Amino acid sequence: MDGTVPMHEDRPIGVAIVAMGGQGGGVLADWIVALAEHAGWYAQSTSVPGVAQRTGATIYYVEMIRPRSGQMPVLSLMPVPGDVDVVIAAEMMEAGRAIQRGLVAPGRTTLIASTHRALAVTEKMQPGDGRADPAAVMTAARAMSRQFLAADMQAIAERAGSVISAALFGALAASAALPFRREAFEETVRVAGVGVEGSLRAFAAGFDAVIAPAANPAPSPEAPSVPQGGSDAQRADLARALQRLDAQFPAAAHAMLRHGLARLVDYQDTAYAHEYLDRVARIAALDDAAHDFALTTEAARQVAVAMSYDDVIRVADLKTRGSRRERVRTEVGARPEQPVGTTEFFHPRLEEVCATLPAGLGRAVEASPVLQRMVGAMFARGRRIRTDTLTGYVPLYLIAGLRSRRRTLLRHAREQAHLTEWLTLVEGRARDDYALALELLKCRRLVKGYSDTHARGVGKFGKVIGALSHLGGRADAADWIRRLREAALADEDGKMLDGALATVATLATVPTEIKETVR
């Protein structure tokens, strides 16, 4: 695949790049134009902004042609379906969108795509797992293209300390779809003079990833790393937690428990991690090897998520971390000398404000219309906060510092009560119906996020759990709870759940003789 490719047709070569904001699609287009012009070709590029819901998805189009003596070419401004030689997709859904537009043609088009995913708004909006299946796009890509080259270019670029455009440029060189040698591609990067060393590393890695994909396997997931910082007492406390994990819990649940410990130490502290192990241990005491300890593993997952609930403190903490600033700089491709501004939008409801107060004060505000109006007036409008300025960063930093007081706040008291009630229900059912207990554990997936999202999730959770009153003693109770949970996750407004609950309500009214006949 290395080397030059003879052009059997004296016609333009069209290259379409489909990318989102921050992925360097414009840089990649500029590199391709510079590559062609350095070889003495005519080349031009255009760009057409796409949908904002895809974070500024844009089509960049480059067209190039060998010079003809005494003639000036007229090049197209837009890709024409069925007449594109190379399509470069900086994300898997963008590859699918290019195929839908007809830009990828069998027998002609080389399709180069990164296999990583940047979820669309419609995928993120789903209460459950709304992710589209990339396998369908992969199948279509192989069927519709002359040559399909794919790898996780985002991960490749990150490991090389660069951006995805450089890795995609390397894959383009490896594809031999353009009549230029690898050395010409690399010289183009050098002449550009920006982030040369990192770009060349990513270029080489992208080149190798499509030349010999079997020799460049994706890195295997590592065991979660539990934070080791803090005082000597905190490190000793964490060591005890890790010893408890190994000694008290089945090996099948160890990986998930380590994830839970890492999450909760980061969220609160080591004492909170011990509380987590205490709760999971109560479920583990009811589990056994005959069920592959599925109950313990699911409890390790759901209890960790439940204990690390999203609140104003958590949001402020995540937005003021140094790692976030570095991630933002990386995502926008900022050079070291370039300043990057970040504006956050906050509009907490009265409920969130009260939840962040000490439990007694929060309840007093909720019970007093006068206090509600006073507090509500302070947060009536949303606020935009520049976290790259001192006046914007410091207030959020102080709110994040309330983590040490989280256990005294109203939100924590309510979350603990809800958690205790849920786990007590699971324990009671586990003794008689293992499958039902497992489904009840999974129902905690319904509770997520904060503000309105959290309120809707709690409401759906209550409805699903409330259906147990109609399912008492039924052998298929676990199956019904699963169906109700899936219905709750299927749509945001809960219409499917309400329909399923109406069906469940009829079960208790069916005459006994009919039940027996159906069985």
pLDDT digit string (tens) for 79-116?
889 899 999 999 888 899 899 889 999 989 999 999 98
Q: What is the pLDDT of residue 518?
A: 37
Q: How far is CA 267 from CA 234, 304, 359, 436, in A?
A: 14, 10, 20, 30
Q: What is the pLDDT of residue 341?
A: 86
Q: What is the pLDDT of residue 516?
A: 43
Q: What is the pLDDT of residue 509?
A: 56
Q: What is the pLDDT of residue 333?
A: 64
DSSP H stretches of helix in 269-349: 270-284, 294-307, 312-319, 322-332
pLDDT one-digit tens code per residue, 32-62: 999 999 999 999 999 887 654 455 578 999 9
Answer with the residue of higher pLDDT: 502 or 472. 502
List the domain boundaries for the chain.
13-215, 221-308
The gap from C-alpha 158 to its chain's centroid, in whole angstroms, comes to 16
**Residue 271 has which token pair?**
């004492």
pLDDT one-digit tens code per residue, 315-355: 999 999 888 888 787 766 677 788 888 888 887 788 888 88
**Count of residues for the chain?**
519
The model's pTM: 0.70
**CA 46 to CA 65: how far, in whole Å?**
15
Q: What is the pLDDT of residue 76?
A: 85
| Protein fold of 13-215 | Pyruvate-ferredoxin Oxidoreductase; domain 3 (3.40.920)
Across the strands, what pairs with 63? 14, 44
If pLDDT is split at 50, 70 and 90, which confidence band does 517 have? very low
* Closest C-alpha among 287, 277, 283, 275 to residue 299: 283
Q: What is the pLDDT of residue 513?
A: 42
Q: What is the pLDDT of residue 225?
A: 62
**CA 360 to CA 340: how far, in whole Å?**
41
Amino acid residing at 431:
R
pLDDT one-digit tens code per residue, 437-485: 999 999 999 998 777 888 888 999 999 999 998 887 789 999 999 999 9
pLDDT one-digit tens code per residue, 108-134: 999 999 998 877 666 666 666 667 777
pLDDT one-digit tens code per residue, 272-309: 999 999 999 999 999 999 999 999 999 999 999 999 99
The mean pLDDT value of the chain amounts to 86
